[in-house]
């Protein structure tokens, strides 16, 4: 039995690192698939736990120079803590590097003819390299020993070359003087390269923290402690200590710690953060309550039913993490480029050095060396590696904040290409709860006490419209009656005999069975309701018609607006329903849908989707994830309507936790914005390297004698990653 886990990864610095971790894990026995998201520092792995343990996976990754957080309780919190500690170390190293590098650079530019000045510069550069940039050399050496390379390799090579060349010129200046050349030193390049790279990584780390803000917001919904009632005493305990069956006290204004059932008391609960429904929900004894929602007015006791990773909130967090850790199809190209990026750059640097010497001879040695160093420094695999995952993290996280759960990156990418959406009717476009909208009563013969008989009969019925009648009658406080015989008649309704009198409730067919005749007033009401597409239920006694009920499943308030927005976006909307022609047409007309089909079975819906696809349409299906599952599975993108706790997260590519259909056009807009951001990021990441590397190599020197300083190259490299992450963060505030 294969198992999929999302495991936080530590100590990655660039896209090549992510590729290395993937390669290590994929090479382990029992691993089916492994993907690493650099932006989220997250490994998503599918493996056979019978062949491979998580501990063995961690050991293999550690041997490769990285680490996994495999603690079961709260690995994401542990990862965030370790990343926070790493951020603080990086901040201190960045400040220290700049404090030393600035005077190093100033002294180098002043060209002071002071004895031992070069030795002073050497000491300052060495301090920056060993005290503040030590991690670059440790990581670079570790990867070299294992036959791999990453961004640290480029930084280590470039700074060591500059430093060692300067040391040679400091110790043996006569070697160049005898050849008529000046023994220049470039200690400032070593120091400033490290300073700029550290600054860029620091800004990148801060920006990446913003991309994961959605996950942190979801995690913060769950409190850390709970008021547990045990042996009659109340005790505050960490929620990790709670078990199924424990009794918990929830006071007004507090967040509910775990999923459970109200066992004592009464309150109303704000569930908007999970379900999107703005109005508080009343919670009498026996009602289900969810972790992370907020208790409003009353205090109550609850029995825990789901704790830890089993709560609805934890499942949503896990789904968002897995989605953010998945890869879009376009990322495959980037992975291939990143895998060979560093060796290719080192090759280009060597070629640059050789070409300069061939063209200019030994007189150009300094230029050749500086150009090679600039090539090593300016090349940035990070910008490529971050282009896709940062945009996906922000896009999927923003969707979660708007109660849109996107299953994976492919779903998000495919959603923007949809040109046709097919809606199920009941529970999707409509409220899914039939209601009595109008009635006709024969006031001359109707006795209000007959409501008790109707109520008792409908309580025994399993017909979908029975609940609408009982809900309508209940506020009239019908009295309870005992006895009587009940009979369900297929295709007609029910008969109920009480005190030797026969009553019937159901379709118009009963009128002929009992010889009942509709009064003129009832006939007028019936014609009006049927033309409006309502279902009509008849209640009679023998040959007498007592009441007519007009019942309909009402359109959701946002359905018409959502359909209009989809039309504005150029998307064709279709309606499929198992209902009869007249109510189907009524709902379609009311919602503004021109294409509809009634009396469809689940197999018919699937065939309808296939026909659209054969016509060249890219189809999304929106349904409840159960009876629409064949059509959902067939569609290019499947969208399930969630209902708070009953979220069909395993059925569809996209799940709308809220019942608000306006989430659908918003999801499509979000998909388009995210994919546009990915394309922008990839364009600039590729263009940056395509333009930057030739400039660093000195391609403009023959034209205008301009040569890129390694310090400028390091600054450009440092800010390229920041620009990509910043562009992705624009999604957080974009509404276009």
**Catalytic annotation, residues:** 424
Please answer whether residues 472 and 487 qualify as being in contact, where contact means their C-beta atoms are separated by less than 8 angstroms. no
Structure tokens at 452: 């008790």
Pairing of strands 637-641, 619-623: parallel
User: Cα 450 vs. chain centroid, distance in angstroms?
Assistant: 54
Bridge partner residues of 405 (DSSP): 655
Q: Let me know: does 405 contact 647? Beta carbons within 8 Å.
A: yes
Residue 362 CA to residue 367 CA, distance in Å, equals: 10
Distance CA 634, CA 609 (A): 7
Question: SS3 string of 462-524?
Answer: CCCCHHHHHHHHHHHCCCCCCCCEEEEECCCEEEEEECCEEEEEECCHHHHHHCCCCCHHHHH
Tokens of 628: 């629409």
Buried b / exposed e over 384-407, threshold 16 CB at 10 Å, is bbbbbbbbbbbbbbbbbebbbbbb
Can you give 302-355 as a three-state secondary structure string?
A: EEEEECHHHCHHHHHHHHHHHHHHCCCCCHHHHHHHHHHHHHHHHHHHHHHHHH
Query: Is residue 621 exposed (0-12), middle (13-18) or buried (19+ Cβ within 10 Å)?
Result: buried
DSSP state of 427: I
C-alpha to C-alpha distance for 728 and 394, rounded to whole angstroms: 7
CB 43 within 8 A of CB 83: no
N- to C-terminal Cα distance for the chain?
44
Using DSSP's 3-state secondary structure scheme, residue 736 falls into coil
Burial class (CB in 10 A: 0-12, 13-18, 19+), 196: buried
- The pair of structure tokens assigned to 513 is 């069975």
User: At which residue do the structure tokens 């994976």 appear?
Assistant: 408
Which residues is 7 bridged to in the sheet? Answer: 43
> Rounded distance, CA 49 to CA 31, Å?
9
Backbone CA torsion sign across 500, 502, 503, 505 = positive
Contact call for residues 386 and 38 (beta carbons, < 8 A): yes
User: Which backbone phi and psi does 179 adopt, to 5 degrees?
Assistant: -105, 10
Q: What is the C-alpha separation between 55 and 67, in angstroms, rounded?
A: 11
Q: Which of 155, 40, 45, 140 minimizes the C-alpha distance to 97? A: 155
Query: Which DSSP letter does residue 429 get?
Result: I
């Amino acid at each position: 039995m294969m198992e999929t886990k999302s495991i936080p990864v530590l100590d990655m610095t660039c896209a090549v690192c992510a590729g290395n971790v993937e390669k290590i894990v994929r090479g382990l026995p029992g691993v089916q698939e492994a993907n690493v998201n650099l932006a989220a520092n997250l490994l998503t792995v599918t493996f056979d736990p019978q062949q491979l343990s998580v501990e063995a996976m961690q050991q293999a990754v550690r041997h490769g120079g990285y680490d996994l957080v495999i603690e079961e309780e709260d690995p994401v919190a542990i990862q965030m803590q370790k990343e926070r500690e790493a951020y603080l170390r990086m901040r201190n190293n960045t400040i220290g590097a700049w404090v030393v590098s600035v005077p190093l650079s100033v002294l180098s530019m002043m060209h002071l003819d002071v004895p031992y000045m070069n030795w002073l510069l050497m000491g300052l550069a060495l301090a920056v390299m060993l005290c503040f940039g030590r991690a670059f050399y440790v990581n670079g050496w570790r990867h070299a020993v294992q036959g791999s390379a990453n961004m640290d390799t480029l930084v280590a090579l470039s700074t060591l070359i500059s430093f060692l060349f300067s040391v040679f010129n400091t110790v043996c200046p006569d070697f160049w003087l005898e050849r008529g050349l000046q023994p220049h030193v470039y200690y400032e390049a070593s120091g400033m390269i490290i300073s700029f790279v550290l600054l860029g990584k620091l800004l990148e780390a801060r920006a990446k923290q913003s991309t994961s803000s959605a996950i942190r917001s979801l995690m913060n919904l769950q409190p850390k402690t709970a008021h547990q009632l045990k042996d009659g005493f109340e005790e505050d305990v960490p929620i990790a200590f709670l078990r199924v069956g424990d009794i918990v006290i929830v006071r007004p204004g507090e967040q509910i710690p775990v999923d459970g059932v109200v066992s004592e008391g009464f309150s109303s609960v704000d569930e908007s953060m999970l379900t999107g429904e703005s109005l508080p929900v009343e919670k009498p004894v026996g009602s289900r309550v969810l972790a992370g929602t907020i208790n409003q007015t009353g205090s109550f006791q609850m029995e825990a039913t789901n704790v830890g990773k089993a709560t609805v909130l934890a499942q949503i967090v896990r789904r968002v993490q897995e989605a953010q850790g998945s890869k879009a199809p376009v990322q495959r190209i980037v992975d291939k480029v990143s895998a060979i990026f560093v060796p290719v750059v080192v090759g280009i640097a060597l070629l640059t050095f050789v070409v300069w010497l061939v063209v200019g001879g030994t007189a150009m040695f300094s230029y050749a060396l500086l150009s090679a160093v600039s090539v090593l420094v300016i090349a940035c695999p990070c910008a490529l590696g971050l282009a896709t995952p940062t945009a996906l993290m922000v896009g999927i996280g923003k969707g979660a904040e708007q109660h849109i759960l996107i299953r994976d990156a492919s779903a998000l990418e495919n959603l923007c290409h949809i040109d046709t959406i097919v809606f199920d009717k009941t529970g999707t476009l409509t409220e899914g709860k039939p209601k009595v909208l109008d009635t006709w009563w024969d006031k001359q013969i109707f006795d209000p006490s007959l409501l008790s008989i109707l109520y008792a009969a409908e309580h025994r019925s399993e017909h979908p419209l029975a609940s609408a009648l009982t809900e309508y009658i209940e506020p009239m406080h019908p009295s309870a009656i005992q006895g009587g015989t009940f009979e369900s008649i297929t295709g007609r309704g029910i008969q109920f005999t009480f005190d030797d009198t026969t009553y019937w409730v159901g379709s118009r067919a009963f009128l002929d069975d009992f010889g009942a005749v509709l009064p003129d007033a009832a006939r007028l009401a019936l014609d009006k309701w049927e033309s409006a597409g309502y279902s009509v239920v008849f209640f009679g006694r023998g040959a007498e018609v007592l009441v007519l009920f007009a019942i309909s499943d009402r359109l959701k308030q946002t359905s018409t607006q959502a359909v209009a927005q989809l039309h504005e976006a150029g998307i064709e909307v279709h309606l499929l329903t198992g209902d009869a022609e007249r109510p189907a047409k009524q709902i379609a007309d009311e919602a503004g849908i021109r294409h509809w089909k009634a009396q469809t079975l689940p197999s018919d819906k699937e065939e309808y989707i296939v026909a659209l696809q054969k016509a060249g349409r890219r189809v999304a299906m929106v349904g409840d994830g159960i009876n629409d599952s064949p059509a959902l599975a067939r569609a290019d993108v499947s969208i399930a309507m969630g209902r708070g706790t009953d979220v069909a997260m395993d059925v569809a590519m996209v799940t709308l936790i809220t019942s608000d259909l306006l989430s659908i056009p918003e999801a499509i807009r979000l998909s388009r914005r995210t994919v546009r951001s990915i394309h922008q990021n990839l364009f600039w990441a590729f263009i940056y390297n395509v333009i930057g590397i030739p400039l660093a190599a000195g391609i403009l020197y023959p034209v205008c004698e301009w040569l890129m300083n390694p310090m400028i190259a390091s600054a450009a490299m440092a800010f390229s990653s920041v620009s990509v992450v910043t562009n992705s963060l624009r999604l957080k505030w974009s509404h276009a």
